[in-house]
Amino acid sequence: MRTGLRAWLEEPRGVTVIMALTVVVFIGDSLAGLALTEVGAKSYRIWAGELHRLLLATFLHGGILHLVANLYALYIFGPVTERILGTNRFVVLYVLSGAVGFLVSLLASPGTFAVGASAAIFGLMGYTLYFRLRRLPRRWLPIDTGFLQIFVINFLLAQTVPNIDHWGHVGGLMGGLLCGGLLGFERPVGGGRRRLRESAVSALLLASVFF
């Protein structure tokens, strides 16, 4: 019984909650005639103060294929990232890197609407890449197979689905890398001063994106 409870506590609960919330939002948006997309998609209205779009856009999707592809990517990378970071910091990473992705998209193409979890998922990839380079050996690992799968999926989507927000992907990846420097790992190992400097620089760069 204790073993079962401990196993449940170690499950990636943040990933489960985010996936469930994303599905609920998609169903609600579909039933409401895309009313949520109208008020939550990334658009130039963010400049006018509608900052909620930076958060809500991550949970909105343009169709069932878009939704399934992103949920699959989250299923692959989410648990790995959450186990590295812990649930609370994982949620911060997901939301913050998604917001950075949409900000970069806004700067690059302010006149277009965009929705989807892709920016946040690329943020998970950016963080995982940070962890990969900082902690893991320089040889092919199962985590690299996950990277390859996601890149192939996004390449295929880019060829078949119109209006893919590539700038959002770039911004999300950048946000994930910066969040790596800011959030660190669940169990930091040594390097107190270096860790502090890295966090300070990452926080400064993230702040410069937002301001």
Tokens of 114: 């965009």
Quick one: pLDDT at residue 2? Answer: 46
3-state DSSP assignment of residue 114: strand
User: Which residue has tokens 């930091």?
Assistant: 188
Question: Residue 112 region, left (φ>0) first, then alpha (ψ -120 to 50), else beta?
Answer: beta
User: Average pLDDT, stretch 132-154?
Assistant: 75
Helix (H, G, I), strand (E, B) or coil at 190: coil
Contact 102, 118 (CB under 8 A): no
Nearest alpha carbon to residue 102 among 54, 140, 35, 40:
54
Q: Which of 55-59, 93-97, 123-127, 205-209 has the lowest mean pLDDT?
A: 205-209
Q: Does position 25 have pLDDT exceeding 50, yes or no?
A: yes
Cα-based distances in Å from 121 to 30, 43, 71, 151, 195: 22, 20, 9, 11, 25
- Residue 50: the pLDDT is 92
* pLDDT score for 123: 92
What is the set of active-site residues? Answer: 118, 169
* Cβ neighbours of 132 (radius 10 Å): 17
Q: Given this model, what pLDDT does residue 71 score?
A: 94
Q: Which pair of structure tokens corresponds to residue 92? A: 């911060």
Q: What is the mean pLDDT of the chain?
A: 82
Query: Looking at residue 189, what is its pLDDT?
Result: 47
Mean pLDDT value of segment 49-68:
92
Q: What is the pLDDT of residue 200?
A: 65
Per the structure block, which two tokens stand in for 56?
Answer: 């809500």
What is the pLDDT at residue 1? 41
Residues 6+ apart with CB under 8 A from 104: 167, 168, 170, 171, 172, 174, 175, 209
Q: What percent of the chain has pLDDT over 70?
A: 77
Query: Does residue 6 have a pLDDT over 60?
Result: no
- Poorest-confidence range of 13-27, 124-138, 141-155? 141-155
Report percent pLDDT > 90 for the chain. 38
Phi, psi values for residue 42, rounded to 5° = -65, 130
pLDDT tens by residue, 100-135:
999 999 998 888 889 999 999 999 988 888 888 777
Long-range residue pairs from 185-192, CB within 8 A, at least 24 positions apart, any chain: 185/84, 185/85, 185/131, 185/135, 186/83, 186/84, 186/85, 186/86, 186/89
- Average the pLDDT over 89-98 and give the result: 94
- DSSP string for 24-47: HHHHHHHHTTSHHHHHHSB-GGGG
Q: How confident is the model at residue 196 (pLDDT cuts 50, 70, 90)?
A: low
Please write the tens of the pLDDT for every residue from 152-191.
Answer: 776 676 666 666 788 888 899 989 988 887 777 655 444 5
Tokens of 142: 């199962």
Q: Which residue has better confidence, 74 or 156?
A: 74
pTM: 0.81
